[in-house]
Amino acid sequence: MAVTIKEVTCRQDLRRFVRFPNELYTGNEYYVPQIESMELDTLSPEKNRAFEVCEGKYWLAEDENGKVVGRIAGIINHKYNQKIGKKLCRFGWIDFIESGDVVHQLIGKVEEYAREKGMDVVEGPVGFLEFDISGILVEGFDQLPTAYGKYNYPYYESLILAEGYVKSTDFVEYRITVPSDLSRYQRMSKVVAERYGLREGEYNSKGELLRKYADGIFAVMNSCYSKLHGFSELSPAQCDDLKDQFLPNLNLDYVSVVVDKNDKVIGFGITLPSLSLALQKAKGHMFPFGFIHILRALRKNDTIDALLIAILEEYQDKGVNAMIVTRIGEGMHKNGIKYVESTRELEDNHNVQNIWGRFEHHLHKRARVYIKEIR
């Protein structure tokens, strides 16, 4: 196949870049499309404040007829590189037909870009920040991904390995059955709260939650996630982007904010109703009807996605997780939630996995990040 690699330099080509997976996975029952307008914002420097610390380029692979047959992004997160003391280039947003030639040329472009920028290592798929989708699916091809994961065909891994990449790390996902009896956690929660002078934060609306506790939540997140793979401390502007991204979908029944006697946030858990089926129905567009499917999913669902959980180090292993589980668990019982999807978490994130380990659960999806030295 004759393949041409074209750098994305205009809005029209960026739209083609965003839309390509929808064409590649047409008719696939496990593919969950992202909302096109949100993807465009994420990839646009004037919209995404991750570009405060990142730079990047995007490329399309076209066949002899000008049809898109692959895509890839090359990204450098300067803040993360400074943190780890390495010259690392990321690749992300990678999709392609089953063709070794297409993959070779796409990854070759990222490696060329990395060398031009003085980088020594290429790793991916990874996004700009920790909250972008990472990894190639290697297990769970018969499972529906969460809205914060991604489906890909089984042939992806072999073609990436053929380019000299090896495993860097894995992300795993669990499906957890909501326990019918929360009494154990309710008793433990009460003991922990009394022993350490802790309580649930007080808020009656999403706006009040953000006004009172958003800064504390992000402070805990930056502290607890600092050692995680791919994470760099979020700036105030990047925190604002995350507020805008997740605030519309929050349901206070599925949020826990634990504070001390001074109303300081020491831990939190944020979960959201599953939007996977709604996004399939929306087919990548909020309008004219996509937002209706999403609103319905937010109101009526039997599954929630565990998005974020963090507890300050000095309060870990003291039972604070019982307070978070109790608060969100009561909300799940109230609304008829039967299952929790853990979303992608690092395979060695034992603090989080210890929470799921107390419930009926099983590992049903695994995604992999790859790495290659280029110098």
The CB-based long-range contact list for 204-213 (8 Å cut-off, 24+ gap) reads 205/252, 206/247, 206/250, 206/252, 209/250, 209/252, 209/255, 209/257, 210/243, 210/247, 212/263, 213/257, 213/259, 213/265, 213/268
Token digits for 158? 């072999």
pLDDT of res. 42? 95
3-state secondary structure 206-241: HHHHHHHHHHHHHHHHHHHCCCCCCCCCCCHHHHHH
On whether the CB atoms of residues 120 and 375 are closer than 8 A, the answer is yes
Q: Is the pTM of this model over 0.75?
A: yes
Whether 245 shows a pLDDT value over 80: the answer reads no
pLDDT of res. 375? 81
What does the pLDDT look like over 299-325, one tens digit per residue?
999 999 998 899 999 999 899 999 999
pLDDT of res. 103? 98
Whether 226 shows a pLDDT value over 90: the answer reads no
Q: Sorting pLDDT into bands at 50, 70 and 90, what band is 179?
A: very high
Q: Sorting pLDDT into bands at 50, 70 and 90, what band is 116?
A: very high
Q: What is the mean pLDDT of residues 263-283?
A: 96
Whether 130 shows a pLDDT value over 90: the answer reads no
Q: What are phi and psi of 226, to 5 degrees?
A: -60, -25
pLDDT of res. 264? 97
On whether the CB atoms of residues 123 and 94 are closer than 8 A, the answer is no
pLDDT of res. 357? 72
DSSP summary character for residue 357: T
Stronger pLDDT, 258 or 250, i.e. the higher one: 258
Q: Sorting pLDDT into bands at 50, 70 and 90, what band is 231?
A: confident
Token digits for 178? 């909501």
What does the pLDDT look like over 57-111, one tens digit per residue?
999 999 999 999 999 999 999 999 999 999 999 999 999 999 999 999 999 999 9
CA–CA distance, 118 with 86 (Å, rounded to integer): 11
